[in-house]
């Protein structure tokens, strides 16, 4: 269903300096130096100039230069400016099946370009648009074939309501494509990302993996699970037959989703083992044998399937229509319609309808209030996390009577990584470092039922710590627990501490809160901090006056 429209096409070209190379924080949480504030380039970028506006059908302002985070030895990223079509040709080299026919490369080129534009906020917290790893799209050296496919489709995008659609692709769907919500809890399931059988890939590749119990336990512990692993069994499957949940005997939490298990193993032991969640599981002689098919999350385009379709003579448009039913494919932007203009958001350029911004509020927002940094395969949960964080921030700002601040939230891929980045022990769940919220892996917080509470708690720290800076630590911790523990739904009973705090011990000293020796000791100190804080609030004190 194409909506007839006649709008203004403006294409911005930024004459960026190659390899500006300011260092940004490593995604692994290693030390970093930010030699330039990424916010500054929004207003200071001199490369954008107003020249002209051309009247052509279908109006899109197309981002011509991406800032790509290039992983350096040692784990830090350096940002480099890469022209869009160069980027597309390089990613094709990293993501396509070897020796794909042109139709498959062109379909994937359009998908890669759309993905880049729809996800260009992803690394804003890091000072660039997209990284060059599997987290975003893998960048390799372009070939003549991938350059041809990028040029042949230059500027073409998959659109939904006139804006780049939020698209996904993976190596192989394993014979049936997946709904986003089956992979990432809380994700939307738009009509163009259905779950349906795919006879093109025929379930290739079939794979098996053998993991020693000790290695599996190591992977799960690195992701935040605790205890001794006694057994793993498949507890449920989703509608398309993939593993939905597994039971982990001996561990806490005692369940893990199929996707989170795959991610836990991938991050610790490598992604080559459990390639998808379409698997069977058997235990034999202290080892778990996974046998499955497919590779990757299975949402959206199946790359192996599209390569097979192209071999059968299917063209790029039909491949895209098959994997993204209902999306519109924009016409190409030929070089002669390129014109430069000053960007209205102050240098932050991307694709959006010019004359009707209300069509895509998501892509038109000038500066996001909440920046979220998510590892690997948690990306599908971004929208839900952003929404939840924004709501919690606004609620808490109202309650505290302070202006709502900009928020940066970093979910760490493993507990080790969290501990390294924050200097805090795994049982602390969250910490504020340089005014950024650092959190344990998403799966762990969610499975412990602590996601919302932890985010709220660190948000209170972000908003209240400055006003309470000179007080003992229990005032700041007490405030965080007190305000985060407020009923989320009106009328819901308040969260109570798991045990009766020992109030004779009075308020905890700084050491108990800042350098706890165990989870038990910290829980005890938290409960006392909360009680001390609440006592003064109940006596009618303003939170800023608690001391």
Place of tokens 């804003």: 124
DSSP three-state, residue 24: strand
C-alpha–C-alpha distance, residues 337 and 10, integer Å: 8
Instruction: Work out whether 182 is an interface residue with Zn ion (CB under 5 A).
Output: no
Judged by beta carbon, residue 182 or residue 198, the one nearer Zn ion is: 198
Q: Of the listed pieces 38-46, 79-87, 200-208, 490-498, which binds Zn ion according to CB under 5 A? A: 200-208
- Shortest spacing between CB 159 and Zn ion, in angstroms: 23
55, β-bridge pairs: 8
For residue 513, which of 457, 452, 444 has the smallest C-alpha distance?
457
- Shortest spacing between CB 170 and Zn ion, in angstroms: 9
Q: Of the listed pieces 153-161, 195-203, 236-244, 521-529, which binds Zn ion according to CB under 5 A? A: 195-203
Contacts of 387 (CB under 8 A, 6+ apart): none
Instruction: Work out whether 372 is an interface residue with Zn ion (CB under 5 A).
Output: no
Q: Of the listed pieces 71-79, 133-141, 254-262, 525-533, which binds Zn ion according to CB under 5 A? A: 133-141
For residue 406, which of 37, 22, 24, 30 has the smallest C-alpha distance?
37
Instruction: Work out whether 131 is an interface residue with Zn ion (CB under 5 A).
Output: yes
- Shortest spacing between CB 305 and Zn ion, in angstroms: 4
Question: CA angle 118-262-28, nearest 5°?
Answer: 65
Instruction: Work out whether 546 is an interface residue with Zn ion (CB under 5 A).
Output: no
Binding residues for Zn ion, total number by CB under 5 A: 8
Judged by beta carbon, residue 60 or residue 125, the one nearer Zn ion is: 125
Judged by beta carbon, residue 229 or residue 421, the one nearer Zn ion is: 421
C-alpha–C-alpha distance, residues 436 and 408, integer Å: 5
Q: How far is CA 443 from CA 109, 169, 329, 387, 419, in A?
A: 32, 22, 35, 18, 16
Among 25, 124, 135, 308, binds Zn ion (CB under 5 A): 135
Instruction: Work out whether 302 is an interface residue with Zn ion (CB under 5 A).
Output: yes
Instruction: Work out whether 97 is an interface residue with Zn ion (CB under 5 A).
Output: no
Instruction: Work out whether 198 is an interface residue with Zn ion (CB under 5 A).
Output: yes
Instruction: Work out whether 430 is an interface residue with Zn ion (CB under 5 A).
Output: no
- Shortest spacing between CB 168 and Zn ion, in angstroms: 13
Q: Which of residues 52-71 bind Zn ion (CB under 5 A)?
A: none
| DSSP annotation string for 189-201 | --TTS---B-TTT
Buried residues in 267-284 as b, exposed as e (16+ CB within 10 A): bbbebebbbbbbbebeee
- Shortest spacing between CB 132 and Zn ion, in angstroms: 8
Judged by beta carbon, residue 164 or residue 508, the one nearer Zn ion is: 164
Instruction: Work out whether 436 is an interface residue with Zn ion (CB under 5 A).
Output: no
Among 12, 63, 173, 386, binds Zn ion (CB under 5 A): 173
Judged by beta carbon, residue 136 or residue 229, the one nearer Zn ion is: 136
211, β-bridge pairs: 288
User: Per the structure block, which two tokens stand in for 133?
Assistant: 């790893």
Distance of CA 39 to the CA centre of its chain: 20
Q: Of the listed pieces 50-58, 82-90, 170-178, 514-522, which binds Zn ion according to CB under 5 A? A: 170-178
Residue 421's CB is within 10 A of a number of other CB atoms, namely 20
- Shortest spacing between CB 131 and Zn ion, in angstroms: 3
Pairing of β 430-433 and β 370-373: unpaired
Distance of CA 383 to the CA centre of its chain: 8
- Shortest spacing between CB 77 and Zn ion, in angstroms: 9
Q: Of the listed pieces 75-83, 172-180, 240-248, 327-335, which binds Zn ion according to CB under 5 A? A: 172-180
Instruction: Work out whether 136 is an interface residue with Zn ion (CB under 5 A).
Output: yes
Judged by beta carbon, residue 10 or residue 172, the one nearer Zn ion is: 172
Contacts of 109 (CB under 8 A, 6+ apart): 88, 89, 92, 146, 149, 150, 152, 153, 156
Judged by beta carbon, residue 117 or residue 531, the one nearer Zn ion is: 117
C-alpha–C-alpha distance, residues 263 and 343, integer Å: 39
Q: Give, for 361, the enclosing helix (H) or strand (E).
A: helix 361-364
Judged by beta carbon, residue 195 or residue 524, the one nearer Zn ion is: 195
Instruction: Work out whether 305 is an interface residue with Zn ion (CB under 5 A).
Output: yes
Judged by beta carbon, residue 59 or residue 173, the one nearer Zn ion is: 173
- Shortest spacing between CB 136 and Zn ion, in angstroms: 3
- Shortest spacing between CB 414 and Zn ion, in angstroms: 17
321, 107 contact by CB (below 8 A):
no
The helix-helix angle for 451-464 and 473-484 (nearest 10°) equals: 130
Instruction: Work out whether 201 is an interface residue with Zn ion (CB under 5 A).
Output: yes
- Shortest spacing between CB 198 and Zn ion, in angstroms: 3
For residue 187, which of 253, 139, 259, 252 has the smallest C-alpha distance?
259
Judged by beta carbon, residue 302 or residue 532, the one nearer Zn ion is: 302
- Shortest spacing between CB 177 and Zn ion, in angstroms: 7
Q: Of the listed pieces 126-134, 231-239, 313-321, 413-421, which binds Zn ion according to CB under 5 A? A: 126-134
Judged by beta carbon, residue 25 or residue 461, the one nearer Zn ion is: 25
Judged by beta carbon, residue 382 or residue 457, the one nearer Zn ion is: 382
Contacts of 535 (CB under 8 A, 6+ apart): none
For residue 75, which of 443, 382, 413, 426 has the smallest C-alpha distance?
413
Instruction: Work out whether 263 is an interface residue with Zn ion (CB under 5 A).
Output: no
Q: Which of residues 437-476 bind Zn ion (CB under 5 A)?
A: none
| DSSP annotation string for 71-91 | EPTTS-EEEEEEEHHHHHHHH
Judged by beta carbon, residue 105 or residue 302, the one nearer Zn ion is: 302
Judged by beta carbon, residue 203 or residue 501, the one nearer Zn ion is: 203
Residue 35 φ/ψ region, left for φ over 0, alpha for ψ in the -120 to 50 degree band, beta for the rest: alpha
Site of interaction with Zn ion (CB under 5 A): 131, 135-136, 173, 198, 201, 302, 305
């Amino acid at each position: 269903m194409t909506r007839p429209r006649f709008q203004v096409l403006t294409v911005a070209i930024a004459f960026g300096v190659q390899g500006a190379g300011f260092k940004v924080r490593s995604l692994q949480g290693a030390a970093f130096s930010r030699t330039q504030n990424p916010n500054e380039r929004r207003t200071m970028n001199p490369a954008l100039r107003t020249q002209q506006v051309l009247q052509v059908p279908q109006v899109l302002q197309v981002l011509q230069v991406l800032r790509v985070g290039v992983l350096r030895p040692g784990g830090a990223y350096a940002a480099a400016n890469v022209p869009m079509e160069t980027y597309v040709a390089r990613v094709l080299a990293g993501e396509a099946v070897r020796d794909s026919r042109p139709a498959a490369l062109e379909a994937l080129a359009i998908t890669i370009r759309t993905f880049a534009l729809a996800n260009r906020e992803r690394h804003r917290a890091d000072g660039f648009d997209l990284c060059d790893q599997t987290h975003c799209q893998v960048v390799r050296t372009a070939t003549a074939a991938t350059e041809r496919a990028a040029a042949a489709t230059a500027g073409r995008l998959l659109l939904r309501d006139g804006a780049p659609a939020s698209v996904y692709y993976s190596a192989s769907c394993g014979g049936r494509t997946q709904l986003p919500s089956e992979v990432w809890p809380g994700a939307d399931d738009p009509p163009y990302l259905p779950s349906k059988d795919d006879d093109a890939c025929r379930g290739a590749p079939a794979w098996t993996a053998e993991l020693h119990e000790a290695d599996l336990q190591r992977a799960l512990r690195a992701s935040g699970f605790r205890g001794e692993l006694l057994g793993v069994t498949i507890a449920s499957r989703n509608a398309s037959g993939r593993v939905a949940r597994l039971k982990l005997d001996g561990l806490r939490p005692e369940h893990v989703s199929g996707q989170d298990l795959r991610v836990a193993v991938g991050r610790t032991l490598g992604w080559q083992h459990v390639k998808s969640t379409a698997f069977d599981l058997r235990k034999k002689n202290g080892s778990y044998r996974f046998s499955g098919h497919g590779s990757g999350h299975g949402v959206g385009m199946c790359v192996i399937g599209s390569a097979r379709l192209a071999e059968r003579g299917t063209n790029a448009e039909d491949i895209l229509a098959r994997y993204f039913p209902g999306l519109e494919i924009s016409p190409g932007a030929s070089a002669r319609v390129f014109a430069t203009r000053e960007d209205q958001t102050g240098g932050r350029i991307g694709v959006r309808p010019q004359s009707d911004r209300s069509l895509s509020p998501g892509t038109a927002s000038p500066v996001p209030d909440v920046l979220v940094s998510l590892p690997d395969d948690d990306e599908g949960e971004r929208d839900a996390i952003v929404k939840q964080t924004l709501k919690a921030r606004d609620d808490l700002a109202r309650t505290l009577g302070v202006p709502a601040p900009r928020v940066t939230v970093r979910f760490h891929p493993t507990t080790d990584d969290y501990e390294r980045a924050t200097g805090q022990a795994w049982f602390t769940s969250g910490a504020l470092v340089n005014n950024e919220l650092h959190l344990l892996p998403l799966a762990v917080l969610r499975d412990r039922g602590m996601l919302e509470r932890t985010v709220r708690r660190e948000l209170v720290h972000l908003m209240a710590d400055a006003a309470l800076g000179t007080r003992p630590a229990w005032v700041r911790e007490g405030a965080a627990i007190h305000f985060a523990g407020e009923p989320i739904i009106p009328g819901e009973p308040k969260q109570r501490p798991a045990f009766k705090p020992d109030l004779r011990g009075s308020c905890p000293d700084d050491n108990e809160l800042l350098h706890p020796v165990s989870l038990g000791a910290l829980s005890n100190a938290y409960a006392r901090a909360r009680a001390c804080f609440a006592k003064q609030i109940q006596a009618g004190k303003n939170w800023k006056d608690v001391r």
